[in-house]
Amino acid sequence: MPRSVLLPLLLLSILGSACSPGAPEPTPGKLTIFAAASLTEAFGEIGAAFEESHPGVSVTFNFAGSQQLRAQLEQGAQADVFASASPREMDKLAAQGFADPSKSEIFAQNRIVVVLAKGNAANITSLQGLARPGLRLVLAAEEVPAGEYARQVIDNLDKSVTSNGGTGYAQAVLANVVSSDESARQALSRVQLGEADAALVYASDAVSAPELPVLEIPAESNVIASYPAAPLATSKQRGLAEEFVAYLLTPKAQGILKNWGFAGKPQ
């Protein structure tokens, strides 16, 4: 290869490393939904069902950490609906006028579970096992909802250990964290690949990886993650966006969400 080919190659490789999903242009009948990564499978199905009941409408998704989606929307990304894994991200958007808080609906709930590597090579049999030195534990980053919930759960477990006369549970568990990933999904992938022994993820994530053993967290130590969805102020098809948010509360959509491990909308 001649030397003159090298610079374009270098540029190509830099380009390759810098690519990120851009915001698609709005077209009539095309609905763009920014949704939390944990909704990937459920929303795939709901989107298909919505398209079926709304002929001529096509739904496209951008799945990522809620925080990242919020940042993209603040930087001018064009979308019609935002479905967040945490009310906080929705509130932040609404506070800046990007979403209408009065149109926001809590459409699903989720909880945290512990997933273990296939075959449970690390031989973890209880939540106490997460504190064992040398274990490789992965969490979502503190900055994303899944990571915040996971740390809350560890905190709650620490309190119950302390009330039973134990000490240093949270410290020992957090010392085992080998990566703080961008989303619970990424943390789950590391366990699926066998790189990590365990991860704290959403119950819905665990459903998408049925081959992995799951440790449940007692309800009194768990958290309830609420998922709000709202039409976005910049949407060029508010009517359709509002219809999609309303559709999330229908028995059809609620059924799909439950199949994927979510608890439905609050009663």
Partner 1 sequence: MINWQPSIRMPRRPSASPTDWFIIIPALAIVFLLAAPLVALVWRGLSSAALSAALTPAALEALRLSIVTSCSALAVIVVLGTPLAFALAWWDFRGKRAIETLVDLPLVLPPSVAGLALLLAFGRQGLLGAPLAALGIGIPFTTFAVVLAQVFVSAPLFIRSARTGFAGLDVQVEEAALVEGASTWQLFSRVTMPLSQRALASGAILAFARAIGEFGATILFAGNLPGVTQTMPLAIYLGFETSLSMAVALSVVLVLVSVGLLWGLRRLERREQ
Positions touching partner 1 (CB under 8 A) are 1, 3-4, 6-7, 9-10, 12-14, 16-17, 19, 65, 67-68, 70-71, 136, 138, 141, 143-144, 177-182, 190, 193-196
CB of residue 220 vs partner 1: minimum separation in angstroms? Answer: 30
Q: Residue 131: which of 161, 164, 172, 168 has the closest Cα?
A: 172
Q: Which helix (H) or strand (E) holds 154?
A: helix 145-163
* Closer of 82 and 260 to partner 1 (Cβ): 82
* Closer of 158 and 182 to partner 1 (Cβ): 182
CB 49 within 8 A of CB 252: yes
The residue type at 255: G
Reduce the DSSP state of residue 152 to 3 states and report it: helix
The number of C-alpha atoms within 13 Å of 184 and in the hemisphere containing its C-beta is 33
* Closer of 38 and 67 to partner 1 (Cβ): 67
For residue 99, what are the β-bridge partners? 232
* Closer of 10 and 48 to partner 1 (Cβ): 10
**Tokens read off for 220:** 């009194």
**Three-state SS sequence of 166-229:** CCCHHHHHHHCEEEEECCHHHHHHHHHCCCCCEEEEEHHHHHCCCCCCEECCCHHHCCCEEEEE
CB of residue 126 vs partner 1: minimum separation in angstroms? Answer: 23
CB of residue 21 vs partner 1: minimum separation in angstroms? Answer: 13
CB of residue 12 vs partner 1: minimum separation in angstroms? Answer: 6
CB of residue 194 vs partner 1: minimum separation in angstroms? Answer: 4
Dihedral sign (CA 61, 63, 67, 71): negative
* Closer of 197 and 242 to partner 1 (Cβ): 197
CB of residue 266 vs partner 1: minimum separation in angstroms? Answer: 27
* Closer of 31 and 135 to partner 1 (Cβ): 135
